[in-house]
Amino acid sequence: MAADHDTSHDTRSVVARQKERFGGLQFGATFFGWLAAAGAGVLMTALLASLGAGIGLSARLNPDEVTGNAGTMGIVSAVVLLVVIFVAYLCGGYVAGRMARFNGAKQGLGVWLWAIIAAVVVAVLAAITGNQIDASRYLDGGPQIPVSPEALTANGIIASLAVLVVALIGAVLGGLSGMRFHRRVDRAV
């Protein structure tokens, strides 16, 4: 019985030394975790869009004849979007946590930070290019949203914050989950 205790103590000390030497935020692991999150998000969104289009085509729906409560459809769409973002960043955090082995929460945070960096780069590029491409002229004939600009801005800010928080929670939980695999391996030794 004493030998089992010594073995578990040795394993813990080895893992502690490994964590000290190889722990911390791993930029490569978090980058690939972000790529996994982005890819998972794109794939899930495409799947849901094709599912929605398939349902619309099979029911022979005419967009001009669709009726329903716009508020309810907006809430359902927002919830679906948040679920997709959560699952995508959970996947990305898991990839980073598995790759890095230690500090799963930090790896998840790193995945989220790569997403912020990518968003800032896109915003800067959009600011640099300016109005060279005026997409609004293609939207003049589209549906108009019956909401005041002030409410739309407030809703946009709330939606953006919700996306940021959900992505962060998903990435951190994914990172912890990915790291947990390595802890099970360490206990099995």
Quote the CA–CA distance of 96 and 177 in Å, as a whole number.
Answer: 10
> Does 136 map to a domain?
no
**3-state SS, residue 107:** helix
Give the number of other Cβ atoms within 10 Å of residue 169's Cβ: 17
pLDDT digits (tens, 9 = 90+) for 142-161: 444 455 566 567 777 888 88
Which CA distances in Å does 37 have to 42, 100, 176? 9, 16, 15
Q: What is the mean pLDDT of residues 55-68?
A: 62
**pLDDT for the residue numbered 65:** 61
> Does 8 map to a domain?
no
Helix 27-58 vs helix 149-188: crossing angle, to nearest 10: 120
Domain range enclosing 47: 26-61+72-129+149-188
pTM above 0.75, yes or no: no
> Does 120 map to a domain?
yes
pLDDT digits (tens, 9 = 90+) for 97-140: 998 877 889 999 999 999 999 988 888 888 887 755 554 444 44
Quote the CA–CA distance of 171 and 167 in Å, as a whole number.
Answer: 6
User: For the chain, how many structural domains are there in total?
Assistant: 1
Structure tokens at 159: 């939606």
